A and B are shown apart, each in its own frame.
Chain A
Amino acid sequence: MAENDKTHVSRRVLLSGIAGATGAFLLPENMAGDVANDVVANPAQDSTKVPGTPARPLGERAASERPRRIVSSSPGGVSRTPLQDLQGIITPSDLHYERHHAGIPTIDPRQYSLLVHGMVDRPTVFTLDDLKRFPASSRIHFLECSGNGGAGLSGNPPPARTPQQIDGLVSTSEWIGVPLSTVFREVGLQPTAKWFLAEGMDAAMMSRSIPLDGALDDAIIAYGQNGEALRPEQGYPARLFVPGYEGSANVKWLRRIEFSDRPFMTRMETARYTDPLRDGKARMFSLVMDAKSLITSPAFPTTLTAPGWHEVTGLAWSGRGKIERVEVSVDGGRSWVDARLQEPILSKCFTRFRYLWNWTGSAAVLMSRATDETGYTQPTAAAIREARGPGTRYHYNHIRAWTVAGDGSVTFGSAE
């Protein structure tokens, strides 16, 4: 059974890792004991016969677990989350994807201040301590770059692509901070205000306009992530976080909020991060990320070793609310069956789905499609090209496919 195979492999890898980690220790002789066979074969690996390493102030992963972001060559900074290595729905903070526009600034939290001004009664400067003094809010949400996953919408992407290479610009964390609504009340937001500019203190002074009539009920100025302070690459010491909005709108290293009655039309919301359409137009402020899903296993470079039971699993998410349904196809989209959704199913958050598949050993094409609580179903690439035009950019939430060959090898694409 596939499940057993998987367990067996992990265990062997784990043991070899321990051997590497403890190799420097001088082991007592005569330590072969009545334990598992592979340990008997090599007593030096018997962890029951030698004290383990001491506790330490900062933990590390097991030596044999080496998930890594893939860093792209970009002057601003890009790295992708190893989606195929993740379990559950939370992305470890050190594996959260990155997209910077001029690198990661180094900011002294004691020097940090946030200016809130414009159409407000009381223009105010907040220190980090001020922000932390407000009643906090905590929420678990995905964050995704709107440029994530362009492969496959047009052209023919190379089949030797991992989930990380295809869609690694998305991650999920618990975010902790002060609700924007609290700060807005504090400064006396005027009724004429309709938008605000969020500006970062990075070298790009990244700036985006956010509409106030959007779903701002759940937006926060975040200073915490997954139980600790934000990582520098996630905006330390404070960032904007608007759940469900495209990554670039969630301005990191937030230094200024200015209210206005209209959008500011910065370069990053006009000349970039806009979606060209087929009628000679381009869509701007396409902030909400529509429903999307991706099978993360099996996926390249995995090879299925034998026919039989295999769990197809992956992640689904929507910027408009909860995932209501994920369907899986093993025949390239001709027929679909419901996958099982794993709790918790949270709004604007990764939802883990699972489908138990009995592989016959013949060629197959695996697909997943998500439906969110608004009734929106993840479209095919053809449907997106039809709706927006073949040259459209950003918001690539089309259905992904993995081809399983008769020999069990798995590659990215297609069979639309």
Chain B
Amino acid sequence: MSLPTGDPASVSALGGALLTQSGRLADLVTDLGASASRARRRSLDDATGHELLLLERAATELDRVGSLLQAWTATAVEAAARARQLAPDLARADLVVDGQLVVESSGPSRVDPETRARERQRLQELLNRVTMVRARELARLGRELRHSHDALAAVAADARAGRSRGS
């Protein structure tokens, strides 16, 4: 049996890329910050303060979502592994998983009906735990993606409008 895990490797690749990009943006922020400090010491205008703040905001979002995607990958892989561990017990009781439900496989079975019903209930509870964790993490990922989407839209708008802080 298997849960719909998507392609964890592809999600992990994106998460890793975002963390790398966030790190590079942080380096640029450091470079611009050092220049701004030198300018202030020489009583010059800070010509890059606006850019620095916006790069910093973007770096924060890329880092946040990159970390979340890495965490989601771990959750998805673990959930799939735990679901696979149920397979031998499911097979012994002539049961299968249909979506998120443990059901009797079609056709006659030699398994004692009472044992089968008991196993069905037990395995359903185990499967529920796996799917619940996965659903909770998916919901969290969704919430964070919405929030970060809005934050990045504000960064883009501020960059194009010449402002450094969202309203």
The answer to whether A and B come from one shared complex is no
B interface residue numbers (CB < 8 A to A): none
Which positions in A face B, CB cutoff 8 Å?
none
